[in-house]
Amino acid sequence: MTVAEAVRRERAGGRAPRAQLRMWLAAAAVIACIAYLLIQGMTNSLVYFHTVPGALAKRAQLGGSYFRLEGTVVKGSIRKVPGGVDFSVAGGGREVSVLDRGNPPQLFAAGIPVVLEGHFLGNGNTFWSNQILVKHSSSYIAAHPNRVKGDPKA
């Protein structure tokens, strides 16, 4: 190859395949990063709840990890304490003590189903909650019409 041919080839894009390869590798890396972030975001936002018996059965696996616990507030167990409320939830014949340090929702009461966000404390069956979500279905609304008010404009 002569010097003139080499100059022509370089001017015509002799390095273009190498530059294109870099561009494709950079694009692939950006796409891989975006895909990773999307997958992580979706899996972190899909936090399912465990029932009381399910959480107790997986107690060793759950350890101190953050999860949602679903159960029914045990009648007579609610005790207001400074900074929150202590109570128990039950389900499937099993019971868990709950320490909640937040403001319980207005509909919070004994005998209603709740979903708690938090984690188990130590090795015991005490659940530390930082949020109480009241679950109410159409059957709950029918059974407690005075607790759930409709829109006054409707």
Which tens digits make up the pLDDT trace of 56-85? 999 888 888 889 999 999 999 999 999 889
Burial-class residue 52 by CB neighbours within 10 Å (0-12, 13-18, 19+): buried
Cβ neighbours of residue 22 under 8 Å, at least 6 residues apart? Answer: none
Q: Which residue has the higher pLDDT, 27 or 148?
A: 27
β-bridge partners, 85? 80, 100
pTM: 0.60
Percent of the chain with pLDDT over 70: 74
Question: How many whole angstroms separate alpha carbon 28 and alpha carbon 37?
Answer: 14
pLDDT (tens digit per residue) in 7-58: 666 665 555 577 788 888 899 999 998 988 887 776 655 657 899 999 999 9
152 pLDDT higher than 60: no
The encoded tokens of residue 132 equal 């109480």
pLDDT for the residue numbered 107: 86
